[in-house]
Structure 1
């Protein structure tokens, strides 16, 4: 217990600056004056080198994932599912862009860092709806989600199963929480109560980091629980690969920012003649994330192939511009708390039936998924609208 207490005390305490008071945020630790900083590569200082590297990696990731997004938009045969897929793929350019901006403008980078979690929250919310749509694509899929006979009695006001509501709100809470944390970070930075240089409990920094981590864990674990409960129905769609492909971005972002923030806050990592405080605290986590983006872009392209939505004789339900407009219109995600799973997913099902969407690859009039699963096209075995 004594050892645990000492570790916790070191983790949440920072008093390297002897001139700081208990109520004031310590000044940013700087060991070397700016005019004495040394280059890291040739004549390039760390900031210049990091900006070039982050920009190159971000551009590469953007080009890779843009090909996949354009292919889905031009083969928009299943609007209900593919708008969620495009939203998930858009996580890569979102993270790549803001990672680059944070490195490039590191002096104001702390105001931008939480934008990464906002993009992640949209992607994970879209992923939950995509999982539900996969199940709804099966004959009797509505009953699989809401219980036997639900399709015959489902109307507004009918309650959803407790497990589904719990999963629903545990995932979707990440969306508003990410916005609140972003705003709280910007406000506390502006009024001087954030203090990224300290992990003392009196400052907002450590509490916002804890809230962010807890919110992220709830969302990720709830999605994983949904997958485990519906593993058999989701198996043909290779959901675990999709799960790891984009949730690795979420996990690494939170983990890297938190670890580096803690190490800088308690003085374990300090500025050097090559890297300033802002280089380490703000730019370094985003630089690492930007360098990881091309790899995640390739993984996402492989995990969300467009081939399964191509069917001979099946024309796109909308043009590329309309497809992108549907993907960017996130009113369905924003209203999830109000409408709840029963109402929203019923609307999703009606949308698939009206569009006569082909969710999977068609062979000889039978719909076949990546894993060989067969099902009838939407609308052939449709539940009546109630």
Structure 2
């Protein structure tokens, strides 16, 4: 017996069919059923999205002059083709939807964490400068306008709140796959005996607090990042997450009111999976182009001015140091076809190394002299 268990004495059954098949009998476009039309349209959109995002990632990989920032940009970018490819697979094979959807949230969590750390890189290039910068800030309290919080403690809290989401999403993705395999998930049920409602509630809470933390981070520090166009970067990333979340609510309402139900042209699988995933594939196309523009590779490209080029493709890059006002020289570090960037992107050890580095920064800064010096600097008000 258990909250997600089934036995012979239980009257609780999942209202969904055991196997989902897109088998609507009537055509919608010429000789094509909705499912066939959906696969063609969503496949074309997925291909275009992957092409645009791959071009963006490839440009950053071969012009890898600032690995700390550009690897994070590539981690954010990978979310777009994952959204599209997993949605297309769910359209073609409806029974895989529940197994794939949870992992989309996991990659979304990695992208959200990478976005927060990218904003930190915009503010300070390394851990030492980051401690000094945030230790100098006083962040106004959201609940008591007369109180402030020191910037380093506020950063640590924001970091933990955002970091929890990919780990929670990972656990929920595993739980979703296990309960679906056991027949105790039930995508269409809100009954407490099924895992769907509980996994959704936990996921929404985890995602919600992470989004609030990132928006608060941006709102408090946007004045320091104007040259990086943080609003455009925020919109290119957050609109995807926000719109997908809004569409979930809309489709939930449509299903609960029977405004959207199976017909001769729409099968049960089309209404609960085909339509929502088709919208995701469609909207990823303009968002991919927006991402390409918002996260342009231009700031990381080699400056031709005053630089003598050799026959080696690893050209030099002169960059303005925002801390000292001087210039320093960098090389492209991506290797042939950006191979080192791709290896870093798909290396989970590198991701956990970044997490450990930030955790060590907080640990070392608790009694560090840089924080004590920073506390004597002026308060921050926005």
Tell me the residue number matched to 1:24: 13
Q: Which one of the candidate residues 87, 92, 95 is aligned to 1:99?
A: 87
Tell me the residue number matched to 1:317: 333
Shift of 1:299: 0.3
Distance in 2 of aligned mates of 1:211 and 1:125: 18
Distance in 1 of aligned mates of 2:232 and 2:266: 37
Change (3 A) 1:205 1:266: farther
CA contact (8 A) 2:179 2:195 kept: yes
Query: Gapped runs of 5+ residues in structure 2?
Result: 1-9, 138-149, 304-315, 318-330, 365-382
Q: Which one of the candidate residues 22, 27, 31 is aligned to 1:39?
A: 27
Q: Which moved more, 1:326-335 or 1:183-192?
A: 326-335
Shift of 1:204: 1.4
CA contact (8 A) 2:131 2:152 kept: no
Shift of 1:50: 0.8
Normalised to the residue count of structure 1, the TM-score between the two structures is 0.74
Change (3 A) 1:35 1:97: closer
Change (3 A) 1:25 1:100: same
Q: Would you say 1:223 and 2:211 are equivalent positions?
A: no
Distance in 1 of aligned mates of 2:362 and 2:333: 21
Tell me the residue number matched to 2:195: 204
Q: Would you say 1:182 and 2:173 are equivalent positions?
A: yes
Change (3 A) 1:141 1:179: closer
Query: Gapped runs of 5+ residues in structure 1?
Result: 1-20, 149-158, 347-386
Tell me the residue number matched to 1:6: none
Q: Which one of the candidate residues 54, 70, 78 is aligned to 2:42?
A: 54
Shift of 1:220: 1.4
- SS of residue paired to 1:161: helix
Distance in 2 of aligned mates of 1:81 and 1:146: 22
CA contact (8 A) 1:135 1:145 kept: no
Tell me the residue number matched to 2:267: 276
Normalised to the residue count of structure 2, the TM-score between the two structures is 0.75
